[in-house]
Amino acid sequence: MASGIFAILDDIAALMDDVAVASKIATQKTAGILGDDLAVNAEKATGFLSSREIPVLWSITKGSLINKLIILPVALALNTFFPVAIKFILILGGFYLAYEGVEKIIEYLFHRNKKGHEVIEETIQDQGEAERVKIKSAITTDFILSVEIVIIALGTVLDQSLQIQIATVSVVALLATIGVYGIVALIVRMDDTGFKLIKRYGDTGFMGGIGNVLVKALPIIIKVLGFVGTIALVLVSGGIFAHNIDYFHHILPEVPSVLKESAIGLVAGLIVVGVITLYKKVFVKVKEEKA
């Protein structure tokens, strides 16, 4: 009886050891996309009132966990029974990410300055509705990035048993959510931490100096993350196309992959923006004619 228990424990220990090794490799493979995920979600989780930052971030985190609970079994099932579908899902997700990135670039380049009364009108708009829209957008983007993370992690353990595949991908998915949104939470609370240090230790001295640095650094970090997050959307989408479409994978081999993938993502985003803009104009025109 005792020997049987020890044998089971030995099997569990061996399995956990295999999972740990596989998870380390999978995490290394997904490091790039995790960095992009951090930049994108940090930008999406900011811009709220201080009192709403953590509740909003918690809502996005819960959405991210639900995303992964949906993606994990679907990815494992598709990989077993219909692996070609994964490629098409990734490509569709790539178009969405490209659209989001290019739309932000266009908005930044061609955004007109708003007049005073427009700013006031926006200020008095329903903040709850604006918050829900941003949370929904963040969770949708997280879904696409989570698909990429899960697929990459799964690709590193295809030669392993089903148990190791499930455990490894689950560990990577959980670490991705906790790690990314944990760091985002630290970032968005930098200024509050700084204000508390200044309030407690004054505006001078070592601790007060740290407080001032934290307060002044946050707007800079947010702007940098906004820029990096936008570029990451375009780059990740281009990478999805390059890795899943043979034509793009082999085109211009002498060009650095970062430049090639950025260009592919940019062109894809411009196409989607153009199609959606045309659709909106036609839809509005038809609607006006019917009215």
pLDDT tens digits along 188-214 = 778 788 888 888 877 777 888 888 888
89, part of any domain: yes
196, part of any domain: no
Is 75 within 8 Å of 188 (Cβ atoms)? no
- Gyration radius (Cα) of the chain, Å: 23
Taking residues 144-173, what's their average pLDDT?
77
78 pLDDT tier (thresholds 50, 70, 90): confident
Angle between helices 2-29 and 31-44 (to 10 degrees): 70
289 pLDDT tier (thresholds 50, 70, 90): low
CA-to-CA separations, 148 to 1, 8, 50, 241, in angstroms, rounded: 45, 35, 31, 12
271 pLDDT tier (thresholds 50, 70, 90): very high
175, part of any domain: yes
CA-to-CA separations, 129 to 50, 133, 250, in angstroms, rounded: 17, 6, 45
pLDDT in tens, 28-37: 555 555 666 6
Is a pLDDT exceeding 60 seen at residue 241? yes
Is a pLDDT exceeding 70 seen at residue 250? yes
Taking residues 238-260, what's their average pLDDT?
83
135, part of any domain: yes
Is a pLDDT exceeding 70 seen at residue 126? no
Q: pTM, whole model, 2 decimals? A: 0.68
Q: Which two tokens stand for residue 240?
A: 């999805």
17, part of any domain: yes
Taking residues 137-145, what's their average pLDDT?
82
278, part of any domain: yes
Is a pLDDT exceeding 80 seen at residue 143? yes
**Res 52: pLDDT:** 73
- Percentage of the chain with pLDDT > 90? 3
Is a pLDDT exceeding 50 seen at residue 15? no
On the CB side of 142, CA atoms within 13 Å amount to 30
Is 154 within 8 Å of 23 (Cβ atoms)? no
| Residue 258 belongs to domain spanning | 2-190+222-290
**Res 270: pLDDT:** 92
Describe the chain by its helix, strand, coil percentages, rounded to 5. Answer: 90, 0, 10
Count: domains in the chain: 1
Residue 225: CB atoms within 10 A of its CB come to 22
Q: Which two tokens stand for residue 99?
A: 């659209």
Q: Which two tokens stand for residue 198?
A: 């200044």
Please list, in sequence order, all residues whose beta carbon lies within 8 angstroms of the beta carbon of residue 184, skipping any fewer than 6 positions away: 38, 41, 42, 45, 57
Q: Which of 39, 228, 41 is nearest to 137 (CA)?
A: 41
Is a pLDDT exceeding 60 seen at residue 25? no
Q: Give the distance, in angstroms, between the CA of residue 53 and the centroid of all CA atoms in the same chain.
A: 17
pLDDT in tens, 94-111: 888 888 888 888 888 876
211, part of any domain: no
Which is more confidently placed, 269 or 180?
269
Concatenating the DSSP letter of every residue in 243-261 gives HH-HHHHHSSTTS-HHHHH
210, part of any domain: no
The label of the residue with tokens 């219909």 reads 82
Which is more confidently placed, 2 or 285?
285
